[in-house]
Amino acid sequence: MAPLEAARLARRRLLGPIDIQLRLLAAWTGENPMDVYEELAKANPRSKEIYERNTRVLAQEVVGTVFLPYPFYAASAKGSKITDADGHEYIDLTMGFGPLMLGHNPDIAVNAAKEAADKALMLGIPNPYQGELAELLVEASPCAERVMFCNTGTEATMYAIRLARALTGKHEIAMFDGSYHGAHDYVIMQGDLDPNPSEPATRAQGSGVPPATVEQIKFLPYRDPHAFELIEKHADELACVLIEPVQSSNPRLDVGDYLKELREVCTRTGVLLILDEVITGFRLAYGGGQERFGIKADLATYGKIIGGGLPIGAVAGSQELMKPFDMFGSPNAIFAGGTFGGNPMSMLTGAAVLRELKARPEIYDEMKARGDGLAARINDFLREGDYPAQLLHADSMFHLIFSKDPVERGRHGADEQTMRLEHLYYAHLLKRGVIVPGIHLFFISAAHTEADIDRVVEAMKDSFRAVREAGGF
């Protein structure tokens, strides 16, 4: 078994005791077993206890792609900081994978959640608490006149695709290489750029997705005009084109003209345009990517920020396009709904956070300034030190790529040696009190201060230096 595969298996809880995991990671990265990995583990005995207990009963913890340097357990959080199970505090750049625009546990969200809990944890039947959040979303989203709430961003894209098929009578879906739209069968795919990157092949990420499902997905080349030709060629089969205004795997702001041309092509060909604003909604601007780039989708999906830290998803569109959600009043009705959709906790907490973002528009300028500053300082350091890395960003969204090569589109692949150095880098960063999840996408929030940014910059610089001293870069 290759060291990389063995390390992945250990992290996925298939090899058991933590000392095995540490030895595998040390062998994989080339670090002495007594160096950074074991140093982290020795400082966290409570985390070791939790790990050994959890591996006996859990098949997976949270998200399988979260690959941290040692078994890390976040026990509490406030503002820009997380405290782990052993009492160590870190500057958190995970931010719940994007929902926490105001930071961890802002008083406005906590108070709203407490008030909601006093009313009802969940009801199932219709309640009076969905209306305000829906009004705020309709006001902010350029395409929205009606909203349907669900529980996650994954559910939102699933329902939006089902809606597009019902509206058009067509069944195929197009999306772009490098995209992420959730974990249901129709989107847990990736575009294979070999042999022709201008016409990516489709393949499922992982097992369990039927070949018949894969056949209904067409991948388009991101930021490539040939995508428009493919849409025109397959317009008779395509129900919709699904795109993130800014890709989480490739955060950049030079996409406005491309999105506008995509909008024109979809209008001309009669293919519905769905903007996946699960991450970008209320982050790139109060009106999300649609406001930021001056475009209007046919349908938009939301999640993350609109729940204020609690589970949520939403589909938004015009009154006409949203009619199939009426199970008894539409000839092409679709089934949608679930036990926890529209629950009081998410509705009231989400509304409180959106009211705060609406009342404090300066948050967006402040976060952009801090994000631009962080990226500029790190990229200057990397260029001056001739490090093979670059920090991509779009305001408060970041992705650290371990390559000097220009990143034009798609998820940036890495060979085993590069992945080894990445892992070592993030171990050193964690040792210095900054946490970035294993997916390497990270965020800042309104709670991150200039002092936090300064600490992050210095920790990142020191971690690059430490990896170089260990023989990397």
pLDDT band for position 10 (cuts 50, 70, 90): very low
Spatial contact of 246 and 289, defined as CB atoms under 8 Å apart? yes
* 131-134, long-range: CB < 8 A, 24+ apart: 132/347, 132/351, 133/306, 133/347, 133/348, 133/350, 133/351, 133/354
Spatial contact of 370 and 453, defined as CB atoms under 8 Å apart? yes
With the C-alpha atoms ordered 177, 65, 447, 110, is the resulting torsion angle positive or negative?
Answer: positive
Percent of the chain's residues with pLDDT above 70: 91
d(Cα 176, Cα 191) in Å, to the nearest integer? 7
Higher pLDDT, 331 or 473: 331
Task: Work out the angle at residue 253's Cα, subtended by the Cα atoms of residues 251 and 257, and round it to the nearest 5 degrees.
Answer: 125
Average model confidence (pLDDT) across the chain: 90
As given in the structure block, the two tokens for residue 354 are 């959106």
The pLDDT assigned to 23 comes to 53
As given in the structure block, the two tokens for residue 341 are 């959709």
- For 178-225, the pLDDT digits (tens) are 999 999 999 999 888 888 889 999 999 889 999 999 999 999 999 999
* Residue with tokens 């195929």, as numbered in its chain: 172
Give me the sheet containing 397-401, strands edge to edge. Answer: 390-394, 397-401, 441-443
Average pLDDT over residues 439-460: 95
As given in the structure block, the two tokens for residue 89 are 């505090």
Prediction pTM value: 0.92
| Centroid of chain to Cα 366 | 22
Task: Work out the angle at residue 119's Cα, subtended by the Cα atoms of residues 118 and 121, and round it to the nearest 5 degrees.
Answer: 85
- For 270-305, the pLDDT digits (tens) are 999 999 999 999 999 999 999 999 999 999 999 999
**Mind listing the domains of the chain with CATH numbers?**
3-103+362-469 (3.90.1150.10), 107-359 (3.40.640.10)
The pLDDT assigned to 414 comes to 65
Diameter of the chain measured on Cα atoms = 68
Give me the sheet containing 89-92, strands edge to edge. Answer: 74-78, 81-84, 89-92, 434-435
Average pLDDT over residues 452-467: 97
Orientation of helix 131-140 relative to helix 344-359, angle to 10°: 40
- 77 beta partners: 82
pLDDT at 26 over 50: yes
- Which phi and psi (to 5°) does residue 211 adopt? -55, -35
Spatial contact of 245 and 292, defined as CB atoms under 8 Å apart? yes
pLDDT band for position 418 (cuts 50, 70, 90): confident
